[in-house]
Chain A
């Protein structure tokens, strides 16, 4: 079980994530949503250990991850928001780098890499540098890299970015399959209709604070909204989107 307890992050005294708490258990897929700049990626980076929290802690299977960060990081798979990969490595070489950094032995690693490259339709381009890849191809490489070591906890930050419809559907099934096999999955995204289909519960973030943490069914009932999109608009209350759209049209023509 992953427990996030009072997680806060301040940059130069300004809190970008404040007192965020939630938990998710084995076999569960938790949606993590919020407007741009709400603090989703900052939370994710604190969970995986890229950023040190200003306050609060992350616990995994009852222990603070600080106590054994090495062990914790060895068990997570992470797909970052931005597909940042060394551009001069080929897709295959990047997967080799990731697998070896995780200490996977050569025989197992090479076989897995070949399988992933074929399953994600990257086999023909396996020797092309990543700089020549499309955004979707890079995303497939990142997904493969996150799954190579069979992680217990999968943290996906906008995993569908750039993916074609078929691959997005494949990924959805993979995520559901992993959850069915007892893996814990934190799914951070803007694509609300996918979250609605995949996640059992969602955490909504606005201006660094949790504004909702419940099952989608309960949220529907409490907000009297039929869709997650409607719930999102009602709870985050960032902007009146219609008014903003009108204003943009005025600016374009003015």
Chain B
């Protein structure tokens, strides 16, 4: 530890600084806590390997798959299933690493802030680039290790074997670590190389815009791949036999080939794929290094000399947003939300991530359902699935995503203007948030799908269907935003402590169980005439009840500007003293008048009430 505390060379100090910044992402508002963030990254990803464990699954065909295959299909069947599992694992790990690399996109190359902050120091541009590259290398090594550690130990036991640790285990574990680790490194450096190439070929004013779209596109692709990897595990021997037909253009097949080569197995095709994996990784690393070397002069100019100007607003007499707002205070908040979502890079990227996730969920579910490929039965089956399942699945993903994105602060220090004017417009601000989320998250889903529903199902059925679906979407909004007690982007944010396995479990439960059940109920309710009023009353009643619960204190309780990690129960001892009684009276008066919170005060009575409920009612938040 003492060695780390000493001052070292320029390059080391720069790497140390950049590495801290990579862990202290803009989505976390706790600067200086990079060690905790780094540990958090490990603790988030380490348990993810446990998802590979089959034993204990309630489905015996899943839990004892290899034993059943060994008995029924023989070694050929076992080998095919093992290849499917291997491909699924490598696909998942590549997608997870790709998503992390995309989240760190801004930190992969030096930023304008780096140049400005380091301008007065005797540091050359090349040193800044070298340090950035080194920090990216260290970061990638940490992530690759975290993501691969448990899967490398569990996969050799699970894939094809059952629970045995024999003499071949070490070799298999090493092969797994090398192949999946190299796959992750390939994807990380490919993204690094892509950014470097874009940087060198695009004009300055296009680079930022294209970067965001590239990130969004890749995010959707990785989410789709990650979700689809769960279906790949169930590939039949017939599908696995077709891998040579498309494997040359399917990177997970390259690294699965490398795995087989390292374990001393595999046919000519897999050995060829192993060669391809090594060449591809080499090319990705070489292009990334070359991009760093070529771009550092141009990049400095791009950052420091590029003209910065926003598009002049069109002088339209009316706008949808103004129409929705209806008052200057609501318009202020809605404009602020729209502009932050459009212009803050972090928020724009996160929004794209959730939109990509929604698309990935619905596409993936359609692929699993077979609806998209059911051309033999006509497109009607595919479209029926689309209009029944998609609206609710999209509502779950997009609304929970919106809640997350709105929770991430933007330029926290600038929130004083809201604190200063809060008491004048709190209620209107709260209604602005409600209108904005419903207009920008829920309405587009139904505006897009209603004409399709009408065309496929007939307008009468479509109207009944959409009424029930909208009621459920509104109820999801009420549940997710029940504990919402802040203005978007103005409150500090403590990232969720829930590990990935927990989050995946929650989403799987909602999207895999609750949404299909509700979709079937909605379908039955809209098709069977006597069921419609029953479901309408049921869903409508629930929505009204949830809405009442949310409205209790919504827009009245003081807004929060600081995230509270845990709410400690106050035993009320302090209130027994004279000073406590006085403080209580003062707080009551301040609370009534909507006075801003005290920094040294531990009392936030209204915050506790709404925060307490959030833990009961909020999910995926």
* Residue B566 lies at the interface, judged by CB distance under 8 Å to chain A: no
Asked if residues B420 and A48 are in contact (CB atoms below 8 Å), the reply is yes
Query: What number of residue pairs across chains A and B have CB atoms under 8 A from each other?
Result: 122
Q: Which residues of A contact B424 (CB under 8 A)?
A: 70, 73-74, 101-103
Complex: chain B residue closest to A92, CB-CB = B313
Interface string of B405-423 (1 = CB under 8 A from A): 0000011011011111101
* Residue A99 lies at the interface, judged by CB distance under 8 Å to chain B: yes
Asked if residues B421 and A102 are in contact (CB atoms below 8 Å), the reply is yes
Q: Which of A76-103 contact B (CB under 8 A)?
A: 78, 80, 82, 84-90, 93, 96-103
CA distance A29 to B5 in the complex (A): 51
For chain A, give the interface size range: 35 or more
* Residue B595 lies at the interface, judged by CB distance under 8 Å to chain A: yes
Q: Which residues of B contact A93 (CB under 8 A)?
A: 335, 339
Asked if residues B328 and A97 are in contact (CB atoms below 8 Å), the reply is no
Q: How far is the CB of A60 from chain B (nearest CB, A)?
A: 13
Complex: chain A residue closest to B583, CB-CB = A54
Q: Which residues of A contact B420 (CB under 8 A)?
A: 48-50, 73, 78
Interface residues of B, count at CB 8 A: 42
Of B22-30, B228-236, B507-515, B597-605, the segment with at least 4 beta carbons within 8 Å of chain A is B597-605
Contact of A101 among B340, B421, B589, B594 (CB under 8 A): B421
Asked if residues B340 and A86 are in contact (CB atoms below 8 Å), the reply is yes
| CB contact under 8 A between A54 and B335, given known A85-B414, A103-B424 | no
Contact of A10 among B311, B333, B596, B600 (CB under 8 A): B600
* Residue B331 lies at the interface, judged by CB distance under 8 Å to chain A: yes
Q: Which residues of A contact B417 (CB under 8 A)?
A: 97-98, 101, 145
Q: Which residues of B contact A115 (CB under 8 A)?
A: none
| CB contact under 8 A between A100 and B596, given known A82-B413, A85-B414 | no
Q: Which of B513-567 contact A (CB under 8 A)?
A: none
* Residue A211 lies at the interface, judged by CB distance under 8 Å to chain B: no
* Residue B53 lies at the interface, judged by CB distance under 8 Å to chain A: no
Complex: chain B residue closest to A13, CB-CB = B600
Contact of A86 among B312, B410, B590 (CB under 8 A): B410
Q: Which residues of B contact A88 (CB under 8 A)?
A: 339-340, 343-344, 410
Interface string of B324-358 (1 = CB under 8 A from A): 00011101110110011001100000000000000
* Residue B314 lies at the interface, judged by CB distance under 8 Å to chain A: no
Q: Which residues of A contact B313 (CB under 8 A)?
A: 127
Q: How far is the CB of B306 from chain A (nearest CB, A)?
A: 10
CA distance A136 to B589 in the complex (A): 40
Asked if residues B425 and A101 are in contact (CB atoms below 8 Å), the reply is yes
* Residue B117 lies at the interface, judged by CB distance under 8 Å to chain A: no
Q: How far is the CB of A125 from chain B (nearest CB, A)?
A: 9
Q: Which residues of B contact A11 (CB under 8 A)?
A: 599-600
| CB contact under 8 A between A97 and B411, given known A48-B420, A52-B601, A70-B424 | no
Of A61-69, A158-166, A167-175, A201-209, the segment with at least 4 beta carbons within 8 Å of chain B is A61-69
| CB contact under 8 A between A128 and B309, given known A84-B416, A87-B411 | yes
Q: Which residues of A contact B589 (CB under 8 A)?
A: 66
Q: Which residues of B contact A102 (CB under 8 A)?
A: 421, 424
Of A104-112, A177-185, A232-240, the segment with at least 4 beta carbons within 8 Å of chain B is A104-112
Q: Which of B429-461 contact A (CB under 8 A)?
A: none
Interface string of A17-55 (1 = CB under 8 A from B): 000000000000000000000000000000011111010
Q: Which residues of A contact B328 (CB under 8 A)?
A: 99-101, 103-106, 109
* Residue A150 lies at the interface, judged by CB distance under 8 Å to chain B: no
CA distance A155 to B312 in the complex (A): 32
Asked if residues A69 and B416 are in contact (CB atoms below 8 Å), the reply is no
* Residue B576 lies at the interface, judged by CB distance under 8 Å to chain A: no
Q: Which residues of B contact A105 (CB under 8 A)?
A: 328
| CB contact under 8 A between A128 and B310, given known A88-B343, A101-B332 | yes
CA distance A105 to B331 in the complex (A): 11
Contact of A97 among B308, B310, B335, B593 (CB under 8 A): B335
Asked if residues A51 and B598 are in contact (CB atoms below 8 Å), the reply is yes
Asked if residues A127 and B421 are in contact (CB atoms below 8 Å), the reply is no
Q: How far is the CB of A79 from chain B (nearest CB, A)?
A: 11
Contact of B595 among A52, A78, A90, A132 (CB under 8 A): A52
Asked if residues A66 and B593 are in contact (CB atoms below 8 Å), the reply is yes
Complex: chain B residue closest to A89, CB-CB = B339
CA distance A160 to B473 in the complex (A): 52
CA distance A178 to B146 in the complex (A): 63
Asked if residues A67 and B596 are in contact (CB atoms below 8 Å), the reply is no
CA distance A131 to B336 in the complex (A): 16
| CB contact under 8 A between A69 and B595, given known A100-B329, A109-B328 | yes
Asked if residues A50 and B339 are in contact (CB atoms below 8 Å), the reply is no
CA distance A66 to B313 in the complex (A): 40
Q: How far is the CB of B38 from chain A (nearest CB, A)?
A: 28
* Residue A129 lies at the interface, judged by CB distance under 8 Å to chain B: yes
Q: Which residues of A contact B593 (CB under 8 A)?
A: 66-70
Asked if residues A80 and B595 are in contact (CB atoms below 8 Å), the reply is no
* Residue A12 lies at the interface, judged by CB distance under 8 Å to chain B: yes
Contact of B590 among A52, A78, A100 (CB under 8 A): A52
Q: Which residues of B contact A67 (CB under 8 A)?
A: 593
Q: Which of A196-241 contact B (CB under 8 A)?
A: none
CA distance A13 to B601 in the complex (A): 11
Contact of B598 among A48, A52, A103 (CB under 8 A): A52
| CB contact under 8 A between A96 and B335, given known A84-B413, A109-B328 | yes
Q: Which residues of A contact B (CB under 8 A)?
A: 9-13, 48-52, 54, 66-70, 73-74, 78, 80, 82, 84-90, 93, 96-106, 109, 127-129, 131-132, 145
Beyond the given A9-B600, A102-B421, A132-B308, please list 12 additional residue pairs across the A-B interface where CB-CB is below 8 A. A54-B600, A80-B416, A82-B413, A84-B414, A85-B414, A88-B340, A88-B344, A89-B343, A90-B310, A101-B328, A128-B308, A131-B308
Q: Which residues of B contact A (CB under 8 A)?
A: 308-313, 327-329, 331-333, 335-336, 339-340, 343-344, 410-411, 413-414, 416-421, 423-425, 589-590, 593-601
What are 18 of the A-B contact pairs (CB < 8 Å)?
Answer: A49-B419, A49-B423, A49-B595, A52-B599, A66-B595, A70-B593, A97-B332, A99-B332, A101-B332, A101-B417, A101-B418, A102-B421, A103-B327, A105-B328, A106-B328, A109-B328, A127-B312, A129-B343
